[in-house]
Amino acid sequence: MFASLLIANRGEIACRVIRTARRMGLRTIAVYSDADAGALHVALADEAQAIGPAPARESYLDIDRIIAAARARGAASIHPGYGFLSENGDFAAACAAAGIVFVGPPAAAIRAMGDKAQAKALMEQAGVPVVPGYHGADQDEARFAAEARRLGFPVLVKASAGGGGRGMRVVAAADDLPAALTAARREAQSAFGDGRLILEQYLERPRHIEVQIFADRGGNTIHLHERDCSLQRRHQKVIEEAPAPGLAPERRQALGAVAVAAARAVSYVGAGTVEFVAAGDTFYFIEMNTRLQVEHPVTEMITGLDLVEWQLRIAAGEALPLTQEQVPCRGHAVEARLYAEDPARDFLPAAGRLTRLRFPVGGPALRIETGVREGDAVGVYYDPLLAKLVAWGEDRAAALAGLAAALAATRIAGIVTNRDFLLRLVRHGDFAAGAVDTGFIARHRAALVPAGGASAVALAAAALFVAAEGEAQAQARAGDPYSPWRRRDGWRLAGSERLEIGFRDAGGDHVVRLRHDGNALRLEIDGAAVTVRSMTQRPISLMHFLVTPAKAGVQGGGTSLALGSRFRGNDGAVNDSEGSGDVAFALGDEEIAAMVVRAGMELTVALPDETARLVERDPWAAAGQNEADASRLVAPMPGKVLSVHVAAGATVKRGQLLMVIEAMKMEHAITAPADGVVEAVNFAVGDLVDEGAMLVAFASS
């Protein structure tokens, strides 16, 4: 076994590899870009080496910089993680040329199977069914148009050299094909350094099933069962499970056999995943990922194996430790990917600082994998995956129940996430029944991304009241404790008067009228009456709330209303004193635990089933703000300007493309909201923009 390992990646996979390598007695070396100097994987590793600026092309995708870092630190081997250079044949070859062990398949296998076009050709020669499509070398737009007509619309445009939904577009009509090709090619080039594309017939309601394979240098190849990855958004997986539900034993056996044959066809070594789409009784090969997958923990949970350890041992020349017949399969496991993204805005990636991050305590049946900590900033340069929550159960129902409980107990503030969306997805009746396909999320969007309720608004108003009274009591201790001017409960000489608080969320404005009534708060929210009661006999102003300062060193923090409980921080330590940040309260007749965190004018309210971000409205704000917003187009998130399609003075039509922004490896089109005239374009190609920056001044006609 080699003595040292450099991890050429970041985030949760880098942290995972470091932990396994350390358990095996290996010295670990992290690499990091300028944006990741304070990242968790850097703190966990024995050593760390800077490799360049934040953009991935200048750091994590720069082969020369990675090899130089390995040489500088005396690394005997390199683990590529997943993403970035993990499926780059040139990188594997460069490692070999430098005398460094690459923890993965040989360069020839990566090139054969990492190139989707070549892989499909190989599978066709081997008699494996593939999705009808075009995988040729001719990349001319006219050729793609002719092939799309042959296949029939809709068609799927895909990056030949990548995965994870990057460089992928569904095209419904011929007129949409040129723009889709341009965008997919540009995105593929940015993400993988290779802009080649392929076409596939778009299957409307297939399942996405993949098989985990492993092979050693002696030619032994086995599979470690299959996973179902059908629940996807933007062609990226969000929920994965193993084994795949509802598969007949003969189909399960056939998928495993085909996957092993595919690996043997290219003399594969190491970990890989052979992916299929299943439509009816037929399954089609779509690609082979020549690396470990994000969803590998569900396979580990049902087999009890450490796949990273297997990778390291095989790279060191050891044989597979098990035969096919010895591979265990016990129970069921489900994984949810927790992303910084906004489901209500078509899963737009989000950026910001994690002012609060709490996960439930794990154990044999619950696993949390993350690469971020409370206080970390989530930027725009990399994939916005925050964590993976993986639950195991004796059967599928138990695993789903465990995952739902873990999601409900997760608390996050400071940034928009998909936690609520994942929770609704896991609890959805059709998913629980196993009735899934790749179109599931789109069909059930209304139920999975509903409008927010009044509970969060009620708790936010109560939190502001409690915080204000706590401040008043502190001031009273420094002066006259009986002065009525110290009170914040709406007291007047002529009697109690209601306070009025305004909030804004994604759904619009909310007005809360609040009255202090002994041990309860009486609220009227948008005309509806709500009561918030103490969980103790004390007055509402002392209602089981502990007003505590935000964690030291967390920028942008404010105050949180915290009730200590047993939670695990993302550094792995169980924390009883600071806890989850939850408070206990009664909303009407229902007892609820929730978290409230305030940072400036923004409040994050995390209920078991809902997370809301509310902004306290300034009553003196300019009345004309809404009108002003309608005349400008702002950046939906921090990013980089990829292209500008108009100039000042241009007359445009509703929906016309004005600008393209790249953020978190995805492209976001800025279009005209109506017919009108462009008054100014404020940024040029290559400029970095902040969230909310006015990109284009626009006047409707």
Q: Report whether 35 contacts 16 (CB < 8 A).
A: no
Q: Which of 383, 371, 297, 296 is nearest to 340 (CA)?
A: 383
- 3-class DSSP state for residue 689? strand
Evaluate the omega torsion of the peptide bond into residue 243 and state whether it is cis, within 30 degrees of 0.
yes
Q: Which residues, in sequence order, are bridge partners of residue 358?
A: 411
385-393 and 332-339: which strand pairing?
A: antiparallel
Q: CB burial class (10 A; 0-12, 13-18, 19+) of residue 549?
A: exposed
Phi first, then psi, for residue 130 (nearest 5°) are -125, 155
Q: What is the rounded distance in angstroms from the CA atom of residue 684 to the CA atom of residue 698?
A: 16
Cis check for the bond before 154: say yes or no (omega within 30 of 0): yes
Active site annotation includes 291: yes
Percent helix / strand / coil, the chain, rounded to 5: 30, 35, 40
- Rounded to an integer, what distance in angstroms lies between the CA atom of residue 51 and that of residue 55? 11
Please give the backbone phi and psi of residue 700, each rounded to the nearest 5 degrees, phi first.
-70, 145
- Please tell me whether residue 37 adopts helix, strand or coil conformation: coil
* CA dist., res. 431 & res. 498, Å (int): 46
Among 16, 169, 207, 291, the active-site one is 291
Asked if 62 contacts 37 with a C-beta cutoff of 8 angstroms, the reply is no
Contacts of 180 (CB under 8 A, 6+ apart): 157, 169, 171
Q: 3-state class of 298 per DSSP?
A: helix
Report the relative pairing of strands 4-7 and 27-32 from DSSP bridges.
Answer: parallel
Measured between its terminal Cα atoms, the distance across the chain in Å is 70
Per residue, the 3-state secondary structure of 114-133, as one string, reads HCHHHHHHHHHHCCCCECCE
Beta bridge partners of 680: 697
| Euclidean distance between CA atoms 223 and 212, whole angstroms | 6
Burial of 607 (0-12, 13-18, 19+ CB in 10 A): buried
Q: Hey, how many other C-beta atoms are within 10 angstroms of the C-beta on 477?
A: 8
* DSSP assigned state of 166: T
Rg for the chain, CA atoms, rounded: 27
Bridge partners (DSSP) of residue 130 are 285
Integer CA distances (angstroms), 453 to 349, 417, 526, 561, 660, in order: 23, 17, 11, 20, 34
- Tell me how far apart the alpha carbons of residues 561 and 558 are, in angstroms, rounded to a whole number: 10
CB atoms near residue 290 (< 10 Å): 30
Strand partners, 575: 567
- Given a contact cutoff of 8 angstroms between Cβ atoms, the answer to whether 376 and 40 are in contact is yes
Q: 26 with 3: CB under 8 angstroms?
A: yes
- Find tokens 């994604």 and name the residue: 506
- Enumerate the β-bridge partners of residue 505: 508
Local structure of 291: helix, strand or coil: coil
Distances (CA, A) of 63 to 84, 90, 91, 462, 511: 10, 8, 6, 54, 55
Catalytic residue list: 291
